[in-house]
Structure 1
Amino acid sequence: MNREVIAQSQHVYQPIVHLASGEVAGYEALVRGPADLGLSSPLQLFQWAEDQGIAEQLDVALFPKALEGAPPGRVFVNVRASTLANYGERVVEHLREVGGHRVTVEITEQAAVKDLVQLERVVDQIHRTGAKVALDDVGSGYASLEWLLHVRPDVLKMDMVFTRAAANGTWAGEIIRSLARLSSTVGAMLVAEGIETREMCGAVSNLGVEWGQGYLFSRPAPASAFIQ
């Protein structure tokens, strides 16, 4: 069944958009497992993989599939931090094969990694291929300041909990402003995830965020929807 699940898994894509101009910076690849097996969502798919003890192997197998048939431009591909720590050489090998210049490796599931020094070595190798690195869910959970020191990401993906709270209070606003200042200082792109309304878009933009992603701009869709 493992091979069947991998073969039947497909990717949809969601654009990352400049809030002021509408310019598209790239597309995040989002996996969809076989619906007939009850694995259509990424959470269901990776929970099944965790139960099978193959989550990291699945991650590696899906990496090149995310790039196959992707829309033109930069592609953001999610990879678990534990996968990079344990199978980073295979991810780097894929990047060398395809050329990393249009790929951003988006690091997720930071809780599973304790050896940040090893992860830092892998990130350096990823950068040498010409690829960029994004850190997902910044401001929430385990995406801590220590991670920023070791990963030195090119892109910060701000957790959607802050996007939703942007217009509701000074605490959220000050955190977002701080992330915007930090991003500007180190030359990283800050992306607000989960923008669903024009009010959310205006709120994060007023706080210094220049890029966003969410249903306001597009729901995840097959690559063909973005090819003119």
Structure 2
Amino acid sequence: MLDSVDSGRPEHCCALIAHELSHLNIAALSEVRLQEEGSLREHGAGYTLFWSGHSDCIISLRLPLHNKQHVVLFSIYAPTLQADPAEKDKFYTDLRRLTQKMPADDKIIILGDFNTRVGKNSEAWKGILGKHGVRNCNDNGRLLLEFCAEQQLTITIFQQKNSLKTTWMHPRSKHWHLIDYVLVRRRDVRDVHHTRVMPSAECQTDHRLVCCKLNFNLKFKPKRGSIPRRRL
């Protein structure tokens, strides 16, 4: 995540992230604080930066894959634990409305700063949360888990050292927490090969960069008279 970027200089934002993200295909950034909406194509670096979206907290991008299949990426910034309950309700109501509008065949990926701790109670949240969570769940975490249960989403957390999972350090306790996540539709969880933190990435933020590797399983329509084959 990229934090506290000068809203009047989108070119400066691009320069900050170019080195760290040059080997990635898509990056979702939170709290970039660029005003209004727009896009900036950085020809030399080979990427385009889009900002704004459905609200201050949600932006989406629908990309074609193959045979009229699409993937929809939602980049979000959820309310903090101290936020007013009405603000939290509005955020999840908006996100629910937007995800439900997506075609049933679309793959959905929701990623960003959820400001939640979902804990590691995989027994209570089967199909939603695996066995490799971190620490305990808080009130915001329950909201996210309930949202995932409603929308048939899975929180992708892989078995690895906590230092490769946790994304943010509490300024007072100095404890590291996992509050940035990648969510996918439960039926597409096998598309996600790995999710991990990149501790060495430097993007002028108090969050650590999360990298997710995916390999989409696509439905290929065989040509007339040919033998159908399943391809990855």
TM-score (norm 1): 0.38
- Higher helix proportion (structure 1 or 2): 1
TM-score (norm 2): 0.37
- Higher strand proportion (structure 1 or 2): 2
